[in-house]
Every structure is written in structure tokens, then in C-alpha cells.
Structure 1
Amino acid sequence: MQEYFGTYQRFETVSKKDAGALLGADNIIGDQYQIQLELVDGQHRGWLVNRFNARIGFFDGEFSRKLSLLKAKGLTLTAILSFVAFTENPEPGHYWGEMAVIAYPAVEGEAFQKFADAVAKKIGEGVHPNITLTPDGVQQVIDAQGAWLPEKNIPYPTLDKGTVFLKKRRSLMDGVVEQGRKGNIGCYIISWAVLLGLVALIIWGFVSCGAQ
């Protein structure tokens, strides 16, 4: 059986200021990230790097060490942004989030990349597939060449008092941004036109109500 690993894992940010990028268009729920592994003061650290080559956060030492061992075995690592949260205490508060982390054998890279893409799409819709696969599940991904997803989903974690979700699914605007990323200029322009039309309709509604 091919070795595989999948889980949802919390990540931290370096500072509140640096974490502000997580709220922008460069980091959308369902985006996929590289994991750069290194030693920092003798401790393992797995950095999360977005498609624009920016580090947006990191995993703790224990989990980073596990990822280092998986990579040493020749597995390919990828992470998918699951949600972004903010905790207000202790002051001044801090941003953190969760990633879906998948490690798969390079020899089955095509199948598992398609699987990761499908998982990312679901996460963008606010659904978290159970990516901790059984041996049979791993084989189904391979047999279906990535065109298979587990039926079971994972609920969002319960947040402590003073913690809120900031992003946990793709918005309409995120969809517009994604079309622009893909170079679908026609869809991008149409999407913007629809959004502007909706805004104009809302403004007209307010004006009409105010005039009555």
C-alpha cells in the first residue's frame, strides 16, 4: 500500500501586522500552499508559502518535525487554507488559522494532485472532507485517478470565547479574484459587471426608500 497522510492542522502567524495579509485577496479559502521545512534555533518549523511566494504562517515544532519525516520518506507535501480566525486575548490578540495538510507518494502525484484540487474546491465551499483516509480510501483515490472524495465531512472546530472566524469559505468577490488569477478575462469582466450592477441596485433601493 502507498503511504499517505492527511489531517487538518492549526497554524500560527508571526505577528498581528504580518497576519493582515491573510485577510486580503492573496490568500483565499481553498488556496493551496507549499510547505518549506527548516530548523530555527534547533527547532523544526514548517513555513506556509502562498502562490506569490510569501510566508503567511507556520506549524508548531512537533507537527513540523512529523512533516520533515514524511518528506524524508519521499512524500510530496501540500496544504490548503481551511479558515482564518482571530483570538483577542491576550492583548493585542493574534491571528491564526487551519490548513488541510496532505502528504502523498510522488509516484502517484497526478492522482493525488487532482484529489487535493477537489478537496480545495470543497473547502472553498465551506465543506471539509475527511482527508484522514483508510488504506481503502487511498486505493480509491489511486484507482479513480483523483476523481474520488470521501463521503464523510469534518465539522468546524468549536471556538473558545473571544475567538471568531474571519474567513471560512470563498465569497463572491473571491470567485471574481480567482477568475482574474486564471486569466479568464472575459469571466473576470462579466463578474465585476454583475457585482457593480448589484451594488448599483442596492444603492438605488436605499435612495428609493429614502425618497418615500
Structure 2
Amino acid sequence: MFMGSNTLVGDRYRINLTMDEGVHRAWLINKFNETIGYFDDSFSRELSLLAAEGLELVGILSFVAFTETPEPGEYWGQAAVIGYSPHYSEEFNQFIDGICGLIGKGIRPKLALKGSAVDEIIDSNGTWLPSEREPLPEKQRGMALLKTRRGFIDGLVEAGRTGNKGCYILSWAFLLALVAAIIIGLKSCGVF
């Protein structure tokens, strides 16, 4: 699920909170209403408490990785979570759009926002963005960072979804050219 074009770095995700066998579970839901993953138990519980206080919760996919262990390996990701009062939804939706744009470019803003940072967001009508950055996790043996920003193809797919017919046609032309190149390559190797 993490490697598909429906899970782009920098996308906004809805958070669905459930209780499964007495354990809090916070699920990430993409804009196509697909469940792509969940947070660990302790963070899910924290999110449930924030939601109980009346905060709106939004997730933003910040990277996707693959780890070889446990066997046969697993895909996993990291998401930034922003909680805000519905009273300030206009300001925070603008802010979240800006954060999504940064993360989509591979820029990871530090989002431990408190006090004056929240005031900056509200006072600027959501146009303020943090200047501090969060590094990617250190690579470990058996781990690969697969998606850390949006690529060219991701941009074409997204533009096609928004109705840009030129980008939609260009993305199909690219895919057809890729298939043709593979067929020509196989034919030149004597496979056909």
C-alpha cells in the first residue's frame, strides 16, 4: 500500500481512531478512503486523548521505508501529525497545505509546535512555516528509504488527478514509451 501512487509523500491523511480489543488504534486514511497504515499503541492512545479534547487531527506522510527484519521484511512510514482546534480550522488548513508542500519537496520542518508557534500560525492566517528542520532517520543495516519526496511522476499523477489533461496524456505517453523501450530491449537481446 505504501508504494502505490495513492500514497504520496506530502499528502494529507485523515486519522480514524478505533478501539481494537481494548487497544487504541489510530489509522491513516488517504483521500481515496483507503486505510494505509496505523500508529503504534502508545501514540494512538495520545491521539485518542487529543481527539477527546476536541482537536482535529491531520496526518501528513513524510517518508516510506523498507526494513529486512522481521522476515520477509516490511514497509513502514513516518507521518507528521498536526492537531488543532476547529475554531482555527481556516488558519490551520492553510498552514497544513504549506507543510504538505514542504514535505512533498523533501523538506522536513520540525513540528513540535507550542505557544508562540501556534500564535504565529493564527496571526499569519496560516502562512507562517517553521524554519527548523527535522533530519531523516539514520540508515541502518537492512533499511532503505524508498520515498522521501515527490518525484516527477508523482507530480504528473497528481496533476492528472486535478484535471490537467496535458499531464495526464504526458504520463500515459511516458508509460507507453517505457513499455516500448522494454520490448525493444528484450527483442534486441533475442528474447523474441
TM-score (norm 1): 0.79
Provide the identity percentage. 49
The residue that corresponds to 2:156 in the other structure is: 176
The residue that corresponds to 1:104 in the other structure is: 84
The residue that corresponds to 1:25 in the other structure is: 5
The residue that corresponds to 2:120 in the other structure is: 140
Matched AA of 2:82: I
1:38/1:44 contact within 8 Å kept? yes
**Alignment partners' CA distance in 2, 1:190 and 1:37:** 39
The secondary structure found in structure 2 opposite 1:23 is coil
Question: Structure 1, unaligned stretches of length 5 or more?
Answer: 1-20, 207-212
2:157/2:171 contact within 8 Å kept? no
- Per-residue CA deviations over 1:146-197 (Å, capped at 9, x if unaligned) read 111011111101122111111111010000011012122244335666x57x
Aligned residues: 182
**Alignment partners' CA distance in 2, 1:191 and 1:96:** 27
The alignment status of 1:130 with 2:110, answered yes or no, reads yes
The alignment status of 1:90 with 2:70, answered yes or no, reads yes
Could you say if the C-alpha distance between residues 43 and 181 of structure 1 is closer, same or farther in structure 2, counting changes exceeding 3 Å?
A: same
The secondary structure found in structure 2 opposite 1:137 is helix
Matched AA of 1:62: S
**Alignment partners' CA distance in 2, 1:189 and 1:145:** 37
**Alignment partners' CA distance in 2, 1:52 and 1:159:** 31
TM-score (norm 2): 0.87
The residue that corresponds to 1:51 in the other structure is: 31
**Alignment partners' CA distance in 2, 1:51 and 1:63:** 22
2:2/2:76 contact within 8 Å kept? no
1:111/1:142 contact within 8 Å kept? yes
The secondary structure found in structure 1 opposite 2:110 is coil
RCO higher in structure (CA 8 A, sep ≥6):
1
The residue that corresponds to 1:41 in the other structure is: 21
The residue that corresponds to 1:75 in the other structure is: 55
1:176/1:192 contact within 8 Å kept? no
The residue that corresponds to 2:136 in the other structure is: 156
Structure 1 runs, 4 residues or longer, greater than 4 Å off: 190-193
Matched AA of 2:123: D
CA drift of 1:90 comes to: 2.3
**Alignment partners' CA distance in 1, 2:40 and 2:2:** 18
1:34/1:48 contact within 8 Å kept? yes
The secondary structure found in structure 1 opposite 2:2 is helix
2:50/2:83 contact within 8 Å kept? yes
